[in-house]
Amino acid sequence: MDPLSYGLSVAAAVALFPLVALAETFHTKVAVLGGGVSAISAVRNLTEGGIDDFMIIEAREELGGRAQNHPFAGINVEKGCNWVQGLGSNPINILSKKYGLETAANDGDDVVFYDENGLVNHTASYDSFGEAYDRMTELAQSRKKTGQVDISARVGLDMAGWYPMTALDEAVEYYSFDWEYGENPEVSSLLHGISNDEMTYGEQAFGEDSDGDRFVIDQRGFKYIFLEAAKEVLKEDDPRVLLNTKVTEVVYDHDGVTIHTDSDDIIKAEYAIITFSVGVLQHRDVKFSPRLPDWKMEGLFGFNMATYTKIFMNFPHQFWDDNQYVMYADPDNRGYMGAWQNLNAFLPKNTSTNIFFVTVTQDHSYQVESMEDSEVQAEAMKALRIMYGPDVPEPTEIFVPRWHSDPLFRGSYSNWPIGELDQHHSNMKAPVNGRLFWAGEAYSKEFYGFLQGAWYTGAETAEHVLQCIKSKCPKFEYYPKILKAKTYQKREFI
């Protein structure tokens, strides 16, 4: 073959079979698996502690985790987290102020309720639930102090004098409970959920000015403050960050960790900080070799990964109330297409969109994720036309996030279920082999389900790894076997 023909043949072969990037093997001291809020917090603290030999391996095209915005109807809406929950010294609130995040005042009491007959006076039911919730909180704190066993929030509400008897009661309960926890009172822990309220939001946690929350409307996205925080320790196109790289297997022993990826890159590290959601770990979306110990899996599988689905729709004009929130009391299906939010109330300067979106949780989220967008739209429109009449127009656009189906998340945020003990949670958080460490909102006993939980655990876990590197690993509490209680208070029936 003459040289010219040979060259043409090679060129043709390259055109038909593009060159594949060669897999690489990286060596680092600390591998951070996942690039969400806890990962960003961790690498900031590693850097502050003098360790800059780390790598972040993130499956998406950017850092930020569940802080994601999405272009919709000409603006950006928050697909994931949307509120700065807890003000004052809350680190998320501090970051929002530091980086000038635009937020709007949020008023959960600015809500109206509808049933099949139209607008309904909800004041009596709403106030009654609020009073019962306060009594339930006192009950939870009392039971915790006296060492009594956990019960569900449903039992706690009943003991506090509340049980929903009407569709309106159910809608009030859903709005005040499920919409916060992502799951219903039947599965939610009284001792670890309800008794934590003051610690999560209140003065005990973040000081005198901590009450309330803020709704994020910044068009740069909630993620902006976390990306800016990351920039303080990461350079642009930092080689220590592998984006679009999914972890497939984590191999570990007492000497270190080897991470395998879908790009065939391999990362060899002395330590790994794992920030995958509880949902991802429960679904075995990442393989661990050897299998994680039974005590670890017992804690992880005992926790819940709640799903919170915001269904965005844009309409030709606003036909709904000016309140921030609107609730529909479905007489046959508690909470379904019930919790509506008026984005116009939070974006008063916006004149280009009319976005009215509805949130569903738990089983309703799973149902919605299994449907086509057109089917979801039809279900939402049924509720709207019951509330506002048959002339409600069809939306011009719809966006349906699917958090539970996404193998990178498998849900929205964690919830402490009835039956998960303190010891289980300690097992969730405890390192394995002194090499695998864990961070994320679910691993925070006080702030699980919240961004501040992710931020705190990222910092705390980084501190533990720093101790391992610089001197000696701290001792961690965990329970190879969790035993049932042996002593009970007993009273004879007379």
Q: Quickly list DSSP for 188-203.
A: BBHHHHGGGHHHHHSH
Same domain, residue pair 149 and 93? no
Tell me, what CATH number does 48's domain have?
3.50.50.60
Tally of domains in the chain: 2
User: What does the DSSP 8-state code read for residue 95?
Assistant: H
Same domain, residue pair 237 and 93? yes
In a domain? residue 452: yes
Q: Tokens representing 479?
A: 């329970």
In a domain? residue 358: no
Ranges of the chain whose pLDDT falls below 70: 1-21, 195-203, 208, 485-490, 493-494
Same domain, residue pair 27 and 69? yes
pTM: 0.93
Same domain, residue pair 128 and 210? yes
Last residue of a domain, one of 215, 241, 262: 215
Same domain, residue pair 239 and 101? yes
Same domain, residue pair 253 and 193? no
Q: How many CB atoms lie within 10 A of CB 99?
A: 15
Same domain, residue pair 131 and 192? yes
In a domain? residue 231: yes
Same domain, residue pair 133 and 208? yes
Same domain, residue pair 98 and 136? no
Last residue of a domain, one of 159, 186, 215: 215
Same domain, residue pair 127 and 210? yes
In a domain? residue 401: no
Look at residue 22 in the predicted model and tell me its pLDDT.
Answer: 80
What angle separates helix 451-470 from helix 37-48, to the nearest 10 degrees? 40
In a domain? residue 493: yes
User: What does the DSSP 8-state code read for residue 54?
Assistant: E
Same domain, residue pair 95 and 35? yes
Last residue of a domain, one of 166, 184, 215: 215
In a domain? residue 360: no
CB 323, CB 342: distance < 8 Å? yes
Q: Which domain holds residue 478?
A: 22-105+218-302+417-494
Distances (CA, A) of 434 to 78, 281, 288, 477: 37, 19, 15, 13
